């Protein structure tokens, strides 16, 4: 039995793991095909071969959705580690990288929760690399990237089923958030706490109100995320944020006829090029670990009783968290396929 397992393990080729990670990251065979430059049918065959070699299913497939199985979650963690080691091997085999300055742009809404951990760990890993950091709104950072002023941009955007620029590293549902004791008055316009334009979340909230014909008023116009969270916690109104931004003293407001379900948001990396990939990959790993940690710590404690009938992602079901708090099927990484896309 051990010999048979070892023979099967040798059949797990790198390209099978690459295809698996691409499908898990994008939530779609067609989108994964674009990422790894293969046909959709080729990606599907790679996943089938991987499941055959491992002797277990890594994805649950239905006519509407594709989600990781518990074995798939375990494999995803190990596959990412293996790809990091493989990339390290190739980097050491080739000529040493000459990059000694990395011009990094980080979206403003990632700064309060993730930036300190990201910078401290990265500078310990690469003491000889000088980081030139720029924080701001996603649109401004992308403009700087296009102008050649940034090497890499990590930002948030609204999830779309169409292929978009950049590599998705994190996905989570947007939810309505209010102070724990805040009550919405059905007869009055909804008081919204928003960021100053341009802001993607602001546009999403306004579009959501318009979609159900609900009147709203601007209760607070914040210039940064800290101010927005303080206004919500203080009871000025409600806002739309990702689940990883839920804090103590806040609650999720369930969608209703006059408060529609919100779309999914995702974190993307733009500028993941060969020249800087050996630096970008550790950044992505550190950021993803931080987001997983903040979600697993915040969600069970502050929102377990708030799940109710909330609908997260297009599949309409939140994903589960392990008994010890680890994310088995992360809310934020829920891969979703359109009907007919599941293979």
Q: Write the CB contacts of 103 (distance below 8 Å, at least 6 apart in sequence).
A: 132, 134, 149, 150, 151, 152
**pLDDT tens by residue, the chain, 343 residues:** 434 434 455 667 888 999 999 998 888 888 888 888 899 999 999 999 999 988 899 998 877 778 899 999 999 998 988 888 888 777 767 655 566 788 989 887 776 666 787 888 888 888 888 888 898 888 888 889 888 899 889 887 765 555 467 778 777 788 999 999 998 888 899 999 998 877 778 888 999 999 988 999 999 998 888 888 899 999 999 999 887 778 888 999 988 878 888 888 888 888 867 777 777 888 878 777 776 665 543 333 333 333 332 333 333 332 322 223 233 333 333 332 222 233 3
pTM higher than 0.75, yes or no?
no
Into how many domains does the chain fold?
3
Same domain? 223 vs 152: no
Residue 310 lies in a domain: no
> Are residues 275 and 163 located together in one domain of the fold?
yes
Same domain flag for 88 and 19? yes
**What pLDDT score does 97 carry?**
52
Helix (H, G, I), strand (E, B) or coil at 29: helix
Q: By residue range, what is the domain housing residue 131?
A: 97-168+265-301
Q: CATH number, domain at 188?
A: 3.40.190.10
Please indicate, yes or no, whether residues 85 and 8 belong to a single structural domain of this protein: yes
Q: Is 184 in the same domain as 292?
A: no
Cα distances from 245 to residues 173, 231, 295, 302, in angstroms, run 11, 14, 8, 11
- Do 153 and 284 fall into the same domain? yes
Q: Which residues of 95-104 are buried (b: 16+ CB within 10 A; e: fewer)?
A: eeeeeeebbb
- CA–CA separation, 171 vs 82, rounded Å? 22
């Amino acid at each position: 039995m051990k010999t048979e397992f070892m023979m099967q393990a040798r059949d797990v080729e790198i390209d099978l793991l690459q295809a698996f990670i691409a499908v898990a990251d994008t939530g779609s065979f067609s989108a994964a095909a674009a990422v790894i430059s293969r046909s959709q049918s080729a990606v599907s065959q790679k996943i089938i071969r991987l499941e055959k070699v491992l002797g277990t299913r890594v994805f649950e497939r239905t006519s509407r959705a594709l989600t990781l199985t518990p074995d798939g979650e375990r494999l995803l963690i190990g596959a990412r580690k293996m790809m990091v080691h493989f990339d390290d091997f190739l980097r050491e085999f080739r000529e040493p990288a000459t990059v000694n300055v990395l011009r990094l742009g980080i979206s403003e809404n990632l700064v309060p929760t993730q930036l300190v951990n990201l910078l401290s760990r990265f500078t310990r890993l690469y003491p000889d690399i000088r980081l030139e950091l720029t924080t701001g709104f996603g649109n401004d950072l992308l403009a700087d990237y296009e102008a050649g002023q940034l090497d890499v941009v990590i930002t948030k955007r609204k999830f779309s089923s169409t292929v978009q620029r950049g590599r998705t590293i994190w996905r989570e549902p947007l939810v309505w958030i209010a102070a724990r004791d805040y009550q919405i008055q059905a007869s009055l316009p909804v008081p919204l706490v928003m960021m100053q334009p341009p802001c993607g979340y602001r546009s999403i909230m306004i579009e959501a109100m318009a979609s159900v014909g609900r009147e709203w008023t601007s209760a607070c116009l914040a210039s940064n995320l800290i101010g927005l969270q303080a206004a919500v916690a203080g009871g000025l109104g409600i806002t739309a944020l990702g689940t990883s931004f839920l804090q103590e003293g806040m609650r999720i407001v369930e969608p209703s006829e006059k408060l529609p379900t919100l779309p999914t948001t995702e974190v993307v990396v733009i500028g993941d090029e060969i020249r800087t990939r050996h630096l970008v990959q550790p950044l992505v790993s550190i950021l993803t670990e931080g987001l997983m940690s903040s979600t697993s710590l915040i969600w069970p404690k502050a929102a377990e009783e708030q799940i109710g009938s909330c609908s997260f992602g297009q599949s309409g079901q939140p994903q589960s968290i392990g008994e010890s708090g680890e994310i088995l099927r992360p809310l934020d990484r829920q891969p979703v396929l359109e009907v007919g896309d599941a293979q």
